[in-house]
C-alpha cells in the first residue's frame, strides 16, 4: 500500500481527494522512484500528530530529521509583510522558548523570520509545493540549510508547483505539528487566520499578538482575539 500511495500522489500532484479516490478504487499504478524520503499513513513511523486531522495527509515527503516532529514544538505564523513589531515579537518568542522546535511555513515575512531565528535550536518548515521547488526563490539558501540541519516537509511530490490553493490546505499541517501556536501578525482574511482556526479546532493552545486599532495589517489578530483566541501578553507567557 505504501508504494501505491506514493504512486497515486505522483499521478495527482498530491491532491488529497484524488488520492483518496485512487485508494478506494484500487486504481492500477506503476511504481515510481522518489528523490526524497517519504512516510505514508500506513507506515508505523507516520507522525501521530497528523492522525488527529480530519484530513490527515496520505503521504509526507521530507528531507532532514523527521524525529523533530516528536519534540516540543511552537508554531509561529504571520503576515508576508512582516512589520518591525512582529519581527521583534518573533525574536523574543524564539529566545524565550529555546527548548522548543519552531514550526512555520517558509513563506516570506514572518515565517522566514521565525525559521531564521530558530536555526540554532531546531526548526520545521512545511511547504505548499514539491521539495525540489524553491518557493519563494529568495529562501532557496534557507530551505537547503533546513533540509541539511533541520526538517522540511511537504505532502506534495517533487515537481508540484506552489499553487495558490495549496497554502490554506498546507496550514492544517502547521497547526497539527505545533504543540502551541502564536499568530504574530494577520489581516482580516489571511492564511494566518486560517492556521489559527485550524489550531483551535485541534484544541491547541493558540495565542495572538494584539495591535493598535488603526493598524490594518494587524486587524486580523484583533478579530481573532475578539472571537475567543488568547491574547499574548508577554513572550514568556506560553512557557
Q: Which residues of 124-163 are buried (b: 16+ CB within 10 A; e: fewer)?
A: bbbbbbbbebbbbeebeebbebbbeebbbbbbbbeebebe
Taking the C-alpha atoms of residue 187 and residue 218, their distance in angstroms, rounded to an integer, is 6
Give the mean pLDDT of 146-162: 97
Does residue 31 register a pLDDT over 80?
Answer: yes
pLDDT at 236: 80
Give the mean pLDDT of 143-172: 97
Handedness of CA 17, 135, 206, 221 (dihedral sign): negative
Give the mean pLDDT of 71-94: 96
Handedness of CA 208, 91, 134, 66 (dihedral sign): negative
pLDDT at 239: 62
For residue 230, the cross-strand partners are: 207
pLDDT at 217: 86
Does residue 234 register a pLDDT over 90?
Answer: no
Give the mean pLDDT of 112-123: 98
Give the mean pLDDT of 74-94: 96
pLDDT at 185: 96
Does residue 69 have a cis bond before it (omega within 30 degrees)?
no
Contacts of 167 (CB under 8 A, 6+ apart): 105, 107, 128, 191
Q: Nearest 5°: phi and psi at 57?
A: -60, 135
Taking the C-alpha atoms of residue 72 and residue 98, their distance in angstroms, rounded to an integer, is 10
pLDDT at 81: 92
Q: What percent of the chain has pLDDT over 90?
A: 90
- Report how far apart, in Å, the C-alpha atoms of 3 and of each of 8, 22, 41, 118 are: 9, 13, 11, 34
Give the mean pLDDT of 117-142: 96
Taking the C-alpha atoms of residue 100 and residue 75, their distance in angstroms, rounded to an integer, is 10
Q: Nearest 5°: phi and psi at 111?
A: -60, -50
Q: Nearest 5°: phi and psi at 183?
A: -100, 115
The H or E element containing residue 75 is strand 73-77
235: cell is: 513572550
Read off the pLDDT band of 214 (50, 70, 90).
confident
Q: Which residues of 43-69 are buried (b: 16+ CB within 10 A; e: fewer)?
A: eeebbebbeeeeebbbbbbbbbbbebb
pLDDT at 136: 94
Domains and CATH numbers, the chain: 2-63 (no CATH), 66-231 (3.40.50.450)
Mean pLDDT of the chain: 95
CA 210 from chain centre, in angstroms, equals 22
Give the mean pLDDT of 21-50: 96
Amino acid at each position: 500500500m505504501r508504494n501505491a500511495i506514493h504512486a497515486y500522489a505522483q499521478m495527482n500532484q498530491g491532491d488529497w481527494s484524488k488520492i483518496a479516490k485512487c485508494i478506494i478504487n484500487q486504481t492500477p499504478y506503476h511504481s515510481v522512484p522518489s528523490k526524497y524520503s517519504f512516510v505514508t499513513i500506513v507506515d508505523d513511523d507516520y507522525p501521530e500528530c497528523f492522525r488527529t486531522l480530519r484530513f490527515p495527509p496520505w503521504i509526507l515527503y521530507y528531507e532532514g530529521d523527521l524525529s523533530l516532529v516528536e519534540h516540543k514544538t511552537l508554531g509561529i505564523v504571520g503576515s508576508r509583510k512582516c512589520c518591525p513589531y512582529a519581527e521583534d515579537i518573533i525574536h523574543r518568542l524564539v529566545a524565550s522558548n529555546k527548548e522548543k522546535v519552531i514550526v512555520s511555513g517558509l513563506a516570506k515575512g514572518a515565517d522566514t523570520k521565525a525559521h531564521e531565528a530558530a536555526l540554532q535550536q531546531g526548526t520545521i518548515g512545511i511547504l505548499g509545493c514539491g521539495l525540489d521547488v524553491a518557493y519563494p526563490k529568495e529562501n532557496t539558501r534557507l530551505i537547503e540549510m533546513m533540509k541539511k540541519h533541520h526538517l522540511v516537509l511537504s505532502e506534495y511530490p517533487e515537481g508540484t508547483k506552489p499553487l495558490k490553493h495549496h497554502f490554506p490546505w498546507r496550514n492544517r499541517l502547521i497547526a497539527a505539528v505545533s504543540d502551541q501556536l502564536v499568530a504574530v501578525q494577520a489581516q482580516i482574511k489571511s492564511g494566518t487566520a486560517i492556521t489559527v482556526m485550524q489550531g483551535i479546532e485541534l484544541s491547541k493552545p493558540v495565542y495572538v499578538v494584539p495591535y493598535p486599532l488603526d493598524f490594518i495589517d494587524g486587524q486580523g489578530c484583533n478579530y481573532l482575539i475578539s472571537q475567543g483566541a488568547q491574547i499574548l501578553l508577554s513572550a514568556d507567557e506560553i512557557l
